[in-house]
């Protein structure tokens, strides 16, 4: 195992391959939004959370660490990937130390919370570090379809795993650090039991508008329409993580604003961005439509690609303080993961020459909002072992055959 061999060179983490094998044999246990809420409000027992997380977090880490090993050798060899694997190994070791500890000991619980905060901070730059590794690999070796397919499959799972582990750690640390967030007293950890979707839309719009005006000195207006089919004329509330929804909307607004301003730079007025929010029995749907010129169908899939990202690489890895209008080009794929994390989705529909509509689908019911988690098994393994095969659809020829009269 490449990952195992790399780790064995470092004596302090020599036991890691064995622990990865041990914990990756278990499947992660997905939680529903309802479980997060019920646990956090009525039965917020720190011991129960500790006993669950000291097993569940290593399982989730080990499952994704098994998959890291199936990345191309040359990608694993980049400085960024070496740094990243060392973070994951260190965090796994720190969590495993709590397996034999007694849950009734107050000091153990306090230390566990501190450890979770340390792990969360250590992993703060996982996304840009992994992105930098992909850039280093691309610059040195280029991109081929098989590598692109494997890296796409892996990164969707890797980043989803990260979203889930951060969710678990945030819930525990926010609920049990003994303080209530004065700005959001009704929040349960990072979850808002009555998340006002339209307010989050407005927040994301205002921030994007400010950025857009800094950069282009102008910005399009927003027109928002609400449809509540369950309770007409009532606000649209769902149980959700506002920061996740904000992340998705902020990304979509940035794209819509940039496209609108650049397409209509010589027009006297900018067409507005239209947002419609609709709550049905099963889904809460947000549709954002712009008149920013659209994207050809051929390019839509590439907008969600990690390997084919066309965004220029940011100069500094630590871009947490400023939110540029373009980063590593990972905004859309990661926003889609946030939507899919609780069984929703994010899709783009574009009309080249006119504009684009982006649609976010979320589950309306907290009992149906269940974590979507990657698990390492034979099915996952097959994805990494597939080789490049001939396409089973005819490829159009550049020069169509002449179909005139045949000469005998």
Residues labelled as active-site residues: 247, 251, 254-255
Residue 166 CB partners (closer than 8 Å, separation 6+): 120, 123
Residue 215 CB neighbours (<10 A) = 15
SS3 at position 285: strand
CA distances from 256 to 260, 306, 399 (A): 6, 20, 37
- Give the C-alpha separation, 39 to 49, whole Å: 9
- Give the C-alpha separation, 117 to 123, whole Å: 10
Give CA angle at 141 (137, 146), nearest 5°. Answer: 90
- Give the C-alpha separation, 112 to 120, whole Å: 12
Q: Do 131 and 330 contact (CB within 8 A), yes or no?
A: yes
Q: How far from each other are the two terminal CA atoms of the chain, in whole angstroms?
A: 63
Sign of CA dihedral 194, 39, 121, 65: negative
């Amino acid at each position: 195992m490449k990952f195992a061999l790399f780790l064995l060179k470092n004596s302090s983490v020599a036991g890691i391959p064995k622990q990865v094998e041990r914990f990756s044999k278990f499947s992660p246990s997905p939680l529903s939004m309802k479980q997060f809420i019920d646990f956090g409000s009525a039965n917020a027992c720190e011991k129960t959370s500790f006993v669950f997380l000291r097993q569940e977090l290593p399982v989730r880490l080990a499952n994704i660490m098994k998959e890291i090993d199936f990345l191309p050798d040359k990608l694993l060899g980049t400085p960024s990937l070496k740094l990243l694997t060392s973070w994951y190994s260190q965090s796994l070791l720190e969590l495993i130390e709590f397996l034999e500890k007694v849950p009734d000991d107050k000091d153990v619980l306090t230390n566990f919370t501190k450890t979770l905060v340390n792990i969360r901070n250590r992993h703060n730059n996982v996304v840009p570090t992994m992105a930098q590794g992909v850039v280093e690999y691309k610059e040195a070796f280029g991109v081929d379809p098989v590598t692109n397919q494997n890296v796409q499959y892996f990164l969707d799972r890797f980043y989803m795993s990260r979203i889930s582990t951060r969710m678990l750690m945030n819930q525990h640390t926010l609920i049990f650090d003994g303080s209530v967030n004065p700005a959001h007293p009704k929040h349960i950890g990072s979850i808002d039991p009555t998340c006002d979707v339209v307010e989050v839309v407005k927040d994301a719009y205002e921030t994007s508008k400010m950025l857009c005006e800094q950069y282009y000195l102008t910005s399009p207006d927003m027109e928002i329409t609400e449809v509540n089919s369950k309770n007409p004329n009532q606000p649209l509330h769902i149980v959700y993580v506002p920061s996740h929804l904000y992340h998705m909307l902020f990304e979509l607004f940035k794209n819509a604003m940039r496209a609108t301003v650049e397409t209509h730079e010589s027009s006297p007025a900018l067409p507005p961005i239209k947002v419609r929010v609709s709550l049905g029995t099963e889904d809460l749907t947000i549709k954002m439509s712009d008149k920013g010129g659209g994207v050809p169908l051929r390019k839509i899939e590439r907008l969600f690609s990690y390997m084919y990202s066309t965004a220029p690489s940011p100069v500094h890895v630590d871009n947490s303080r400023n939110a540029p209008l373009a980063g590593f080009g990972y905004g859309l794929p990661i926003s889609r993961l946030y939507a899919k994390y609780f069984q929703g989705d994010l899709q783009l529909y574009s009309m080249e020459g006119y504009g684009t509509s982006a649609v976010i689908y979320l589950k309306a019911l907290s009992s149906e909002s269940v974590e979507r988690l990657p698990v390492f098994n034979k099915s996952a393994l097959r994805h990494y072992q597939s080789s490049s095969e001939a396409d089973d659809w005819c490829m159009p020829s550049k020069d169509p055959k002449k179909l005139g009269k045949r000469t005998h």
